[in-house]
Amino acid sequence: MKKILSLFLVFAFIFNFQAKADEGMWILTLLNKNYAEMKKQGFKLTPEDIYSLNNASIKDAIAIFGRGCTSEIVSDKGLLLTNHHCGYSAIQSQSSVEHNYLRDGFWAKNFNEELPIPGLAVRFFVRIEDVTEQINKKLKDKMSFEQRQEVIEKISKEIEENAKKGNNYITEVKSFFNDNNFYLVLYEKYSDVRLVGTPPESIGKFGHDTDNWVWPRHTGDFSVFRVYMSPDGKAAEYSEKNVPLKPKYVLPVSIKGVKKDDFTMVIGFPGSTNRYMTSYEIENLIDVTNTNRIKIRGIRQDIMLEDMKADEKIRIQYSSKFAGSSNYWKNSIGMNNGLRKLNVYAKKQETENKFRKWYAADDKLKSKYGNALTLIETANKGIKEYQSAAQYISETMLRGIEIFGFANRVSNMLDKPNEIKEYAKGFYKDYSKPTDKKIALAMLKLFDEDVDVNYHPAFLSSEVNNIRKGNFEAYVDDLYSKSIFANESEFFKFMETYDKEKIQKDPAYTATMSVLETSKSLKEKAKKFNADLETGRRLFLAGLMEMEKDKNFYPDANFTMRLSFGKVGDYKPKDAVTYDYFTTLKGVMEKEIPGDFEFDVSPKLKELYNKKDYGRYGQNGKMMVCFTSNDDITGGNSGSPIMNGNGELIGLAFDGNWEAMSGDIAFEPELQKCINVDIRYVLFIMDKFGGAKHLVDEMKIME
């Protein structure tokens, strides 16, 4: 209890925030430090129930879903829940104009109807082990940044290889506290994951971009998958012979409901926070990174959306691409607003001034930490223009122009034509040449206007400005008529008699190579500044922890399993406004805009609403949809189980709120909310709307 209180006191001091028990993303092996506070708030279990090496525990039911979400096992047959937006690309990959699962939804009636998803895998967390001493004892204060990184990488690989012996685990040594601490993390990967069910977009993505990052929310953000294993019980690639997973642990599902001040906890894989970021870094984040992203993606998304609205096939092809782009485009807008409105820059400066006064009082401390903030400040000033140009190259060309991205992938497979053909099948399935061509024209013009000519790829100077005298339209017309990457039939015809030298002369390939060369040059120019920045960050955080050496700090999120805890509750975003902690199906009907892709409502859902046919999932004549809690989450937590004090599933975390978009940099105790879809709404949609009661019957329902 004393330790948890002291932790929040130090954050009140360091960040000038009110201390709250809901701040922090905790490593599971350290939960004993939080146990007293969790128990006081309503936690009924023990740390051993959460994380155990000897017995099945809650952590065994929770997995990384795909590349960046969380999921949880809810049946003894490997049934897996995650967010709709996490399963979106998988759903989209199986959709076509004839079988539009995005629009219509999908519910498998039995195992045979479940849809295999090539490339989709889940990783179950096995254990985490502190290896800081093993690495730090080999590090010397006088090492350069490069020398230090070489030693860390060498020892990390040795630790990872040793941990793999006698098993098939994935092993990673991860940095914590800005390279001051290190942990070994082990995972078990299952590569046969099949789509079992999904509501239509009108439920799973209700509100789309308008409601994204916003409360009140009425989105049934869930999808259902199943994990399969080999007949002998091992993780395996897809096979028709595989059988449903027999999990180590299954989360019980509670339909008892939630009320204000109920204890909650979220366990998942938060991706990245920067709670120890300095004022110098915030300045670059606002002025460069976020501002560039907002501008570039906004232009690209407008073009996508125009074509998606005009053609159903293109809407299916680009739905996942658009969603992936727009999510952090809007996040960047909200983050900039929040950082400015909440005066985070000034609060960080206060921290830095206190830090300077602390080390200035002791010559040894000054020698050890006196250069930390100077390194960060100088590095941020020096790296700014390289950082901006590199981001423009990535956003406008490598990620913005699809045939450039395709050519980039092919450059890594030049001697593997079969792999190229396999990749091309997926690429062209979701490719519209006219859309890509429009985007390419807009992106190239934007790059030319906004980026210093010293950082232009060679093809812009030679092909556009010299040969075509700045006529971007002529260049793009020529590029998309001549490049085999832009023409599906020509590409596959070419692959019948594959010629590596010919593909290397393709205009899209040569342009992409010049883009990569410029990107490489920018990285080299930024190398010293990045080294100084990382060194400064490490020293600054080490100094903060020494300054308050009797206090406990939680590490920034780094896509390792964490637990955060808090309570169900409402909040006041501004004067005279209070948001309740839950929403109901009535709000869906109130938001309805017939025919609008963001707010259209299914006739069947309206029928269920009008009849109040909620089955056992309703409460007092209402169908709860979403609720808010103050659990500390970020990207990567999407799909995470939110549980009550008994470890029972009460919902799925899926979003944060607009008023606290700066939360990845500075936790806002009075404003920050975790938005969750209520598990009762999930089950209601499965059962009453989707006709998939057999899936509910697989679960252990707590009433």
Provide the greatest CA pair distance for the chain.
75
| Catalytic choice (156, 279, 320, 638) | 638
Name the active-site residue from 49, 211, 221, 506. Answer: 221
CA angle in degrees (0–180, nearest 5) for 226-230-231: 110
The answer for residues whose C-beta is within 8 angstroms of residue 187's C-beta and 6 or more apart is 64, 123, 124, 125, 126, 169, 170, 171, 172
Q: How far apart are CA 686 and CA 106, in angstroms?
A: 10
> What is the C-alpha to C-alpha distance for residues 435 and 200, in angstroms, rounded to an integer?
25
β-pairing, 701-702 vs 253-254, is parallel
Distance in angstroms (rounded) separating the CA atoms of residues 180 and 553: 12
Is 221 annotated as catalytic? yes
Cα–Cα distances in angstroms (integers) from residue 566 to residues 24, 46, 83, 557, 622, in the given order:
10, 16, 21, 17, 25
Q: For residues 279 and 349, is the Cβ–Cβ distance under 8 A?
A: yes
Alpha carbon 100 to its chain centroid, in Å, reads: 26
d(CA 696, CA 471): 60
Euclidean distance between CA atoms 686 and 692, whole angstroms: 5
Within 10 Å of residue 617's Cβ, how many Cβ atoms? 21
| C-alpha distances in Å from residue 91, one per residue of 105, 222, 231, 431, 618 | 9, 12, 26, 17, 28
| Under 8 Å between Cβ of 554 and 24 | yes
User: What's the CA gap between 62 and 11, in Å, rounded?
Assistant: 29
Residue pair 634/616 in contact by the 8 Å Cβ criterion: no
3-state secondary structure 354-397: HHHHHHHCCHHHHHHHCCHHHHHHHHHHHHHHHHHHHHHHHHHH
Active site residue 84: no
Question: Can you give the C-alpha Rg of the chain in angstroms?
Answer: 26
Residue 78: other Cβ atoms inside 10 A: 25
Candidate list 85, 211, 326, 332, residue with the active-site label: 85
Q: Is 85 a catalytic residue?
A: yes
Q: Which residues are catalytic?
A: 85, 221, 638
